[in-house]
Structure 1
Amino acid sequence: MTDLTRMTATDLAGLVASGETSAAEVTRAHLDRIAAVDDRVHAFLHVDTEGALAAARAVDERRAAGEQLGPLAGVPVAVKDVLTTKGVPTTVGSKILEGWRPPYDATIVQRLRAAGTVMLGKTNMDEFAMGSSTEYSAYGPTHNPWDTDRIPGGSGGGSAAALAAYEAPLAIGSDTGGSIRQPGAVTGTVGAKPTYGGTSRYGLVAFSSSLDTPGPCARTVLDAALLHQVIGGHDPRDSTSIPQPVPDVVAAAKLGATGDLTGVKLGIVKEFTGEGAEPGVMAAFRESVDTLAKLGAEIVEVSCPHFRYALPAYYLIAPSECSSNLARFDGVRFGLRVGDDGNRSLEEVMSLTREAGFGAEVKRRIMVGTYALSSGYYDAYYGQAQKVRTLITRDFTAAFEQVDALISPTTPFVAFPIGARTADPYQMYLADLFTIPTNLYGGPGISVPCGLSEGLPVGLQVMAPTMADDRMYRVAAALESVVGTFTPPAL
């Protein structure tokens, strides 16, 4: 039989359902792969070997009993360590939650378990999802399987690297400013950010509540769509959850895989075709645009003039919300506690705990956000940023009156060497230049591999209107039908 770790989630589910292999065999193959390569990749913070094998055996027992299995039953999945998992460590990449075992599952984790997927463990990430390279994890950086001296993107680099290293066929990420799509682009995998509110945030440790969006990561567009269908949908425990069913993203991916985009109108964002991107990235993007046109899509240029202000607006809104959300980590209720020797005040214990528990990037964003929300500066900074957000939303609305979806490069550059940008936060922030507008708008976006530059993957981003997630899957699957999937050099 073909190496189980190299197979798609769709094919693995078919083998398990038919009895040609067992979920336990599939799980063991991936656990063995993790043991063989993760010392070089560091995709995982915690591997739940016993829990994974128990879940796999349960699937096999259900199949033996004649139960009808779901479309992903028996398929392993890696979960970004930002989602709570009952009894399994959830650290959010931070020392302040080291060793914390939540008493409940996030809604998405509940849905994964109910669907019969097998959770392998929790993946590495930038601390509290604040970063673009997974170098800001308190537990060390993750390495890109294409070149282990380079970053795998962030903040969900662990999930993307696990896919590219064949440690898992599926993964879950979260996207606040591009943290699913950007790692997908630089690791040659598929990363999809659903419509904000289309996937539940219940049990997602909050960074920026008006932006955070959990979503699927995979090696193929169809696999991502299948995972999206499992985790999406209304959740009454999440006040921002949209009370509508998930669009038929699986049917859209299958339609796109036929390679026919006749009648689809795609817009190239004028503001994303000038300076700021590496020549090799733009060359791969232009070649992909030509491919989409040959598949029948009509390509037009559209202007979204306020997209150029998205980066500064985001870096006021997101830190402001993080400064509020992270106030709960005070050394009193849960997590790390430092200096509680009976001789210090509560304020001193809080200060010492936060000093020891938060990393430099988290502290930077908390301070920026606290300043932006402070008396006398709120209107000048946070208030103005929210006005820019409205203008960006209007740009999207106007663009979607002209086209079905927008396309752009996912990232301005390919994976850069570890340590190359940590000394200059602004250069690091530029990694999310093309992805941030979609988060501010709240619509869906997907990154699909579209080529190579200097031997490293380049991603193409498809952006669609809110609750039109199916459109992005159709376009992405159509491109994939020509470009194919990407395989990194052997580890």
Structure 2
Amino acid sequence: MADITDLGVAGLRDGFRSGAFSAREAAEAFSAKVSRAKALNAFLVETPDHALGQADAADRARAAGEEPKPLAGVPLGIKDLFATRGVATTAASHILEGFTPPYESTVTQNLWNAGAGMLGKLNMDQFAMGSSNETSYFGNVISPWRRKDGSNAPLAPGGSSGGSSAAVAARLCPGATGTDTGGSIRQPAAFTGISGIKPTYGRCSRWGTIAFASSLDQAGPMAQDVRDCAILLEAMAGFDPKDATSLQLDVPRWEANLSSDMKGKRVGVPVEYRVDNMPEEIEALWRKGVEWMRGAGAEIVEVSLPHTKYALPAYYIIAPAEASSNLARYDGVRYGLRDLPDGAGLQDMYAATRADGFGPEVKRRIMIGTYVLSAGFYDAYYTQAQKVRALIARDFEQAWEKCDVLLTPTAPSAAFALGEKSADPIAMYLNDVFTVPSSLVGLPAMSVPGGLDKQGLPLGLQIIGKALDEQSVLNAGLAIEERADFKARPEAWW
């Protein structure tokens, strides 16, 4: 049999059910691999006991003749944004260093209820703010991929879910949770040659997930392929009365209804996504994706999303504004870091704690957000950005009159070297140019690997769908996956 750690979510689930291996064997194999991969810095905390505990419970249930749970035998990695009872949860920040929640996030509880185990907590950009995993207080995650030029320059795994993408690509875990505020599932998935889906806003509960921008944040799965994403999303999703934005809808059977047949479907190609200075390799992959869709039976239509060029500026007003509000709770009083200089008063303690506890990018976004919400500027910035958001939503509604899904590149480049863009926040923000519009509107969107660039690095294609139509997104992703036949994997150096 092939190495257990080469198996994805479906392979582990089905292998366990068939008796090919025990859940404990799978948990031990992945835990051992995690412990040997310190060079990637993907895991902040390793929790083999949790994975083995869930595995032993699955093995006992199978021995007793009980029906296996949906994710029995499947150990996962959990992004450090999800609160995990009794296990450190820091959002990769200094201000929450040492914080151990006494409660479990709804998404992770749903996964444990489905039988999954936890291999550990995954590194990320601090408070999910970043596109390269360089803002983590606990050091960069390093992509398992390397350029073919022999330079061995450490590459960004994307962000903010960089630990998740690196761990799945390196086969340290079969799947992982991610969160996506402006592209933080899709962009890292594209950078590391895996699949990841951001569902419709409200599909997955935000309760127990550390907030960045509450009207944008949404949890989703990252895994080796489309089927694995569908399996994980079914377990993660569902109504939660503790989250006022949670959708009170039944969870569809996304895996059972997977189909790569695109006959009768119309695939839109938005003209505005052809941005200046986009590499020819990305353009060529996009054209190839269009042909793959046509080959799957879809009709290709050109559509216009005229307000796309305003999406990124609007996002970088709305998201920091919400972050400024959400991160006000970290004051050194209730939990986390407390920096109390000698003779300091309350205001001094607030200032010292936040100055020491937040990293430069988090401070930058808090200051931007506080500024655009301040008296005299609220209407000029925040109100205008919300109006632009409404116009972008209208663009998508008009596009849906002509097509069922949209096909675009996921990111404007392949993975870049760590440090290449960190000195230029604007260059870093441009990584999200293709992913932000669907986030502003709360639409489901997915990245699937489509090929490699000339340096041998993965490139992704993005499918955007109508609200609540994850099935069409997954199906289109499967059609691309089958035709791209992406089998490339990073060579182990770690």
Question: For 1:246 and 1:275, how far apart are their aligned partners in 2?
Answer: 40
Write out per-residue CA displacement over residues 105-164 of structure 1, whole angstroms, 9 at most, x where no aligned residue: 000011110000111111010000000010110101111111261100000010011000
Which residue in 2 is equivalent to 1:107? 106
Residue 246 of structure 1 deviates from its aligned partner by 2.6
1:67 aligns with 2:72: no
What pairs up with 1:67-466 in 2 under 5 angstroms?
Answer: 67-147=66-146, 149-253=154-258, 255-256=259-260, 260-339=261-340, 341=342, 343-454=343-454, 455-466=456-467
Paired amino acid for 2:176: A
Q: 3-state SS of the aligned residue for 2:255?
A: helix
Which residue in 1 is equivalent to 2:150? none
- Which stretches of structure 1, 4 residues or more, deviate above 3 A after TM superposition? none
8 Å Cα contact 1:191/1:447 also seen in 2: yes
8 Å Cα contact 1:220/1:485 also seen in 2: no
8 Å Cα contact 1:177/1:435 also seen in 2: yes
Question: For 2:105 and 2:401, how far apart are their aligned partners in 1?
Answer: 36
8 Å Cα contact 2:292/2:479 also seen in 1: no
Question: For 1:370 and 1:488, how far apart are their aligned partners in 2?
Answer: 43
Paired amino acid for 2:305: C
Alignment size in residue pairs? 485
Q: 3-state SS of the aligned residue for 1:479?
A: helix
Structure 2 unaligned regions, length at least 5: 147-152
Q: 3-state SS of the aligned residue for 2:301?
A: strand
8 Å Cα contact 1:252/1:471 also seen in 2: no
Question: For 1:156 and 1:461, how far apart are their aligned partners in 2?
Answer: 17
8 Å Cα contact 2:92/2:127 also seen in 1: yes
Question: For 1:451 and 1:128, how far apart are their aligned partners in 2?
Answer: 31
Write out per-residue CA displacement over residues 15-34 of structure 1, whole angstroms, 9 at most, x where no aligned residue: 11122211110011111111
8 Å Cα contact 1:284/1:452 also seen in 2: no
8 Å Cα contact 1:127/1:138 also seen in 2: yes
Write out per-residue CA displacement over residues 31-53 of structure 1, whole angstroms, 9 at most, x where no aligned residue: 111122x2221111111122221
Question: For 2:200 and 2:139, how far apart are their aligned partners in 1?
Answer: 31
Residue 276 of structure 1 deviates from its aligned partner by 4.4
Question: For 1:368 and 1:467, how far apart are their aligned partners in 2?
Answer: 32
Cα distance change, pair 86–48 in 1 and its aligned pair in 2 (3 A): same
Paired amino acid for 1:324: S
Identity, % of aligned pairs? 49
Q: Structure 2 length normalisation: TM-score?
A: 0.97
Question: For 1:327 and 1:122, how far apart are their aligned partners in 2?
Answer: 25
Which residue in 1 is equivalent to 2:149? none
Question: For 1:59 and 1:95, how far apart are their aligned partners in 2?
Answer: 36
8 Å Cα contact 1:284/1:453 also seen in 2: no
Q: Structure 1 length normalisation: TM-score?
A: 0.97
Structure 1 unaligned regions, length at least 5: none
Paired amino acid for 1:377: F
Residue 356 of structure 1 deviates from its aligned partner by 0.7
Cα distance change, pair 16–286 in 1 and its aligned pair in 2 (3 A): same
Q: 3-state SS of the aligned residue for 2:463?
A: strand
8 Å Cα contact 1:145/1:488 also seen in 2: no
Paired amino acid for 1:328: R
Write out per-residue CA displacement over residues 307-331 of structure 1, whole angstroms, 9 at most, x where no aligned residue: 1100000000000000000000000
8 Å Cα contact 2:178/2:219 also seen in 1: yes
Question: For 1:83 and 1:461, how far apart are their aligned partners in 2?
Answer: 25
Question: For 1:403 and 1:276, how far apart are their aligned partners in 2?
Answer: 27
Paired amino acid for 1:86: R
1:17 aligns with 2:17: yes
Question: For 1:140 and 1:384, how far apart are their aligned partners in 2?
Answer: 37
1:468 aligns with 2:465: no
Cα distance change, pair 177–467 in 1 and its aligned pair in 2 (3 A): same
Question: For 1:74 and 1:371, how far apart are their aligned partners in 2?
Answer: 49
Question: For 1:52 and 1:97, how far apart are their aligned partners in 2?
Answer: 24
Question: For 2:277 and 2:169, how far apart are their aligned partners in 1?
Answer: 27
Q: 3-state SS of the aligned residue for 1:325?
A: helix
Paired amino acid for 1:207: F
Paired amino acid for 2:351: S
Question: For 2:400 and 2:79, how far apart are their aligned partners in 1?
Answer: 32
**Backbone CA RMSD of aligned residues:** 1.0
Residue 484 of structure 1 deviates from its aligned partner by 2.2
Residue 247 of structure 1 deviates from its aligned partner by 3.1
My pick for the range that moved more, 169-178 or 274-283, is 274-283
